[in-house]
Amino acid sequence: MTAVSPAPVPLPHADLHEIGRTVVMRGLRATGHTFNVPLDHRDTTSERIEVFAREYSSLEHDDDAVARLPWLLFLQGGPGGRGVRTTQLSGWMKAAARDFRILMLDQRGTGRSTPADAATLAALPTPQAQADYLSHFRADAIVADAELIRARLGSAPWTVFGQSYGGFCTLTYLSNAPAGIERALITGGLAPLAGAPDEVYRATFARVEERNREYFSWYPEDRELVTRIARHLREVEEHLPDGERLTVRRFQMVGSFLGGNTRVHALHYLLEDAFTTTPDGPRLSATFLEQVQGIVSRASQPLYALMHESIYCQGGASSWAARRVLDEYPQFRDDAAEILFTGEMVYPWYFEEDPALRPLRAVADVLAAKEDWGPLYDADVLATNVVPAAAAVYRHDIYVDRNLSLTTAAGIRNLAVWETDEFHHDGIADDGEAIFERLLGMTRP
Nearest to 186 by CA among 412, 430, 355: 412
Q: Which of 64, 280, 327, 372 is catalytic?
A: 372
Q: How many other CB atoms are found less than 10 A from the CB of residue 13?
A: 7
Strand partners, 33: 19, 53
Measure Cα distances from 396 to 202, 207, 399 in Å: 15, 7, 9
Catalytic residue among 57, 58, 113, 164: 164
Eight-class DSSP state of 183? E
CA distance 301 to 346: 13
CA distances from 165 to 128, 255, 265 (A): 25, 19, 24
318 flagged as catalytic: no
Do residues 395 and 207 lie in contact, with contact meaning Cβ atoms separated by under 8 Å? no
Buried-exposed string 339-370: b where 16+ CB fall within 10 A, e elsewhere: bbbbbbbbbeebbebbebbeebeebbebbbeb
Task: Give the C-alpha separation, 8 to 13, whole Å.
Answer: 15
Task: Please state the φ and ψ torsions of residue 278, each to the nearest 5 degrees.
Answer: -130, 165
Any catalytic annotation for residue 372?
yes
Would you call 17 a catalytic residue per the annotation? no
Instruction: For 326-434, list the strands marked E by DSSP.
Output: 389-394, 415-420
Given the residues 117, 175, 425, 426, the one annotated as active site: 425
**Annotated catalytic sites, by residue?**
164, 372, 425
